[in-house]
Structure 1
């Protein structure tokens, strides 16, 4: 996901082994029904101009599930939670997950509790029908030191407890810095998975973002089996100019780029614990965002999803 959206277990061998074992147990506990959807950031300008008309077009293409990337002042794309749920229902759509950045302003350390703003976020997510509340960013101020970072992973776990009370799960979505930045000699991504409780904090693996920083989804899924309930399905190509997040890459239609997408999603389905496959494309080359959304869905269906 584009960086502009920021305006949005203990370590050690034994602890890591325990986490890995728990991952296997979580995955073996039962496979949920697979779900295919689209991250609405893929068609952000269309959603900005005409949310209702755009959702109608997605439904007409055959989409059944969407994931939001716009929750501001307790509204989704300008609609209250109840209004947006009705709008989705009118088109036969569901929104099992959504992106809202959980930041420093959402946690009151003095009170050891979340601020009302984050409590409302969780409340509205439940009202609109979400199963997952996903935070897609970790502010730079929260990852300057190991102690600050570790303390915020405790907040992640507490958010998982809060979401659980409403029948939902809290999750985190990676970009690229998790694979390029290290604290105490460990990549942030490894620290996130080692310092969060898998029962409280799920991972949404963005298979494209990590590529920018040398992360490879196949390797990650093998390293942490059963940890990725959700996945952002994305392909990448070399950008003609400046790419996404300042990298040399940009996303493209599935199957047209350098990411082994089908192999990754098949492995996610087999051993990654993945049940939610969310299409996301942020760059479109010579096509419109909606045309890409239609083509991406067609490819996924050809692949059996």
Structure 2
């Protein structure tokens, strides 16, 4: 297949130089609303605002990675049958051309506005962006280098970044964003937990620097709310600090947050109990109520642990039902 329509497989968890998280906060998400409680009309407006997202629920395909690598079209059909309307591609396109992927998406009634398959650096970069635009991608991760362990997974205990290193990463993201913008795409920056640790040479955290140093017109923050919460951050506080910048969300739920207290960021990530959305402790109803402040345009359910459950599609379906019937009701 032509390389312009089949970029190399890139682990979505390693596209960034170990950086993309959120600056400090509290281990639990904040509650929405005023102390006196919302008025009846305000509550009705809030419900209507939440319900507006019910037909836009997306799935990060990392959730069903045990299936799509061997049956891409069948997995997309099953995801659509579960109720999802959007997906975010990841890892690779299963050996198919992007034109074929577009056909599979159309047949399933899905759209894929964002991808975590970073376009290859070098001469194929812009040709791949053109192909991405043709199939409907509007956001993409990019490669800026990273600290990698076995199979491309970030090292469990990477060295803390310096301020200068983070600024260089931000500059690389801006530069990539100037190129992707010409092709109708915007760079997105994803977080895990390690990015919440202080820099090696200061009290700032990598995400604080990235928020300050990246150009909002070129780089959007793709907030993984689950990992941010595990790291001790508060999504609502982040929205207030940088309104409008969180255009893409990963929504994952976590149980047993209290047990993570006192652990390092890397230990928290390893110990986090990721569960279907609605079965954990993150108050997503309060978070979705602030989607406008965040600037959110697309969100994707992600359960990293779903393949280990024995039926990743069933786990994805449970998340969809809980999100539709409880969070966004």
Shorter-chain TM range is 0.7 to 0.9
Offset at residue 137 of structure 1 (A)? 8.5
Task: Summarize the Cα distance change of 1:257–1:92 in structure 2 as closer, same or farther, 3 Å threshold.
Answer: same
Scaled by the length of structure 1, what TM-score is found?
0.77
Q: How does 1:138-217 map to 2 (within 5 A)?
A: 139-140=146-147, 144-182=161-199, 183-217=201-235
Offset at residue 117 of structure 1 (A)? 4.1
**Are 2:298 and 1:276 aligned?**
yes
Q: In the alignment, what sits opposite 1:110? A: none
Scaled by the length of structure 2, what TM-score is found?
0.71
Q: How does 1:88-167 map to 2 (within 5 A)?
A: 88-101=105-118, 106=121, 115-135=122-142, 139-140=146-147, 144-167=161-184
Query: What do residues 12-66 of structure 1 show as CA deviations (whole Å, max 9, x unaligned)?
Result: xxxxxxxxxxxxxxxxxxxxx8532100000000112211111111111221111
**Are 2:265 and 1:265 aligned?**
no
Corresponding residue to 1:229 among 208, 225, 247: 247
Task: Summarize the Cα distance change of 1:64–1:86 in structure 2 as closer, same or farther, 3 Å threshold.
Answer: same
Instruction: Find the residue that maps to 2:222 and give its secondary structure.
Output: strand
Q: In the alignment, what sits opposite 1:42? A: 63
For the residues of structure 1 that align with 2:130 and 2:188, how far apart are their CA atoms? Answer: 16
For the residues of structure 1 that align with 2:251 and 2:179, how far apart are their CA atoms? Answer: 28
Offset at residue 135 of structure 1 (A)? 4.3
Using the TM superposition, name which of 284-293 and 134-143 deviates more. 134-143
Would the aligned equivalents of 2:70 and 2:94 in 1 still touch at CA under 8 Å? no
Task: Summarize the Cα distance change of 1:131–1:282 in structure 2 as closer, same or farther, 3 Å threshold.
Answer: same
For the residues of structure 1 that align with 2:280 and 2:178, how far apart are their CA atoms? Answer: 39
Task: Summarize the Cα distance change of 1:250–1:116 in structure 2 as closer, same or farther, 3 Å threshold.
Answer: farther
Task: Summarize the Cα distance change of 1:259–1:60 in structure 2 as closer, same or farther, 3 Å threshold.
Answer: same
**How many residues end up aligned between the 2 structures?**
262
Task: Summarize the Cα distance change of 1:137–1:304 in structure 2 as closer, same or farther, 3 Å threshold.
Answer: farther
Corresponding residue to 1:79 among 93, 96, 104: 96
Task: Summarize the Cα distance change of 1:165–1:181 in structure 2 as closer, same or farther, 3 Å threshold.
Answer: same
For the residues of structure 1 that align with 2:167 and 2:146, how far apart are their CA atoms? Answer: 13
RMSD: 2.9
Q: How does 1:11-22 map to 2 (within 5 A)?
A: none
For the residues of structure 2 that align with 1:135 and 1:218, how far apart are their CA atoms? Answer: 26
Offset at residue 266 of structure 1 (A)? 1.8
Unpaired stretches in structure 2, ≥5 consecutive residues: 1-10, 16-51, 148-157, 260-265
Would the aligned equivalents of 1:100 and 1:136 in 2 still touch at CA under 8 Å? no
**Are 2:87 and 1:66 aligned?**
yes
Offset at residue 287 of structure 1 (A)? 5.4
Unpaired stretches in structure 1, ≥5 consecutive residues: 9-32, 107-114
For the residues of structure 1 that align with 2:143 and 2:75, how far apart are their CA atoms? Answer: 23
**Per chain length, whose mean CA-contact separation is higher, i.e. which structure has more relative contact order (CA < 8 Å, sep 6+)?**
2
For the residues of structure 2 that align with 1:270 and 1:62, how far apart are their CA atoms? Answer: 24
Query: What do residues 245-273 of structure 1 show as CA deviations (whole Å, max 9, x unaligned)?
Result: 75321211112112112211222x13111
